[in-house]
Amino acid sequence: MHQLAEANETSREEQKIKRPKVDLQFLRRLRRILAILFPSWASQTTLMFATLLFVTLLVTEQLVIYQVGVIPSHFYEVLGSKDLNRFKSLTFLAVVFILVNSTLKSFDQYVSSLIYVNWRKNLTEHLHQYYFRGKMYYTLNVLREDIDNPDQRISQDVERFCKQTSSMASKLLISPFTLAYYTYQCFCR
């Protein structure tokens, strides 16, 4: 019984140790990865990321989304008054906003996909340089039986990381500004 309690206590300690956390080591690793993903201010990846930032912030995708959301209330007013001319102009305005919104969203997804491909290429090349340096390739393939297909694992892990990060990037960029914009709309109107 005493051995079972010790085993449970040991497994709890191991779980605490393995649990991921945001600490100084995480921030250092993140900084190193970002240095690989964004090698310089003039790099293609940095310019694409700046384009994504420009589209999501300055073109104000959220402004267009807000306007699309407000239009239905205007339709109730126009339909209630049976004003055909205002209905036509409001319908035209709604179609324009919807087209602009879909174009911005498509551009956002396109740039995010380009960023994903570029990040994946840079990170895979960087990690494979380390993998093939010295005796690392031999050590991982021959001496470590617990690691199966390390080069394939590197590629798959990089692919997952870059896909999730690129899809998350635009959402992380736009969220604070969306919150600020809707807060402004709520309290200033």
Task: Out of 6-10, 73-77, 109-113, pick the least confident.
Answer: 6-10
Mean pLDDT over 167-178 rounds to 79
What is the three-state SS of 116-171? Answer: HHHHHHHHHHHHHHHHCCCCHHHHHHHHCCCCCCHHHHHHHHHHHHHHHHHHHHHH
Q: Is the pLDDT of residue 157 over 70?
A: yes
Single pTM value for the model: 0.69
Quick check: 49 and 112 in contact, CB under 8 A?
Answer: no
pLDDT single digits (tens) 40-99: 888 887 778 777 777 666 556 777 888 888 888 888 889 899 889 999 999 999 999 889
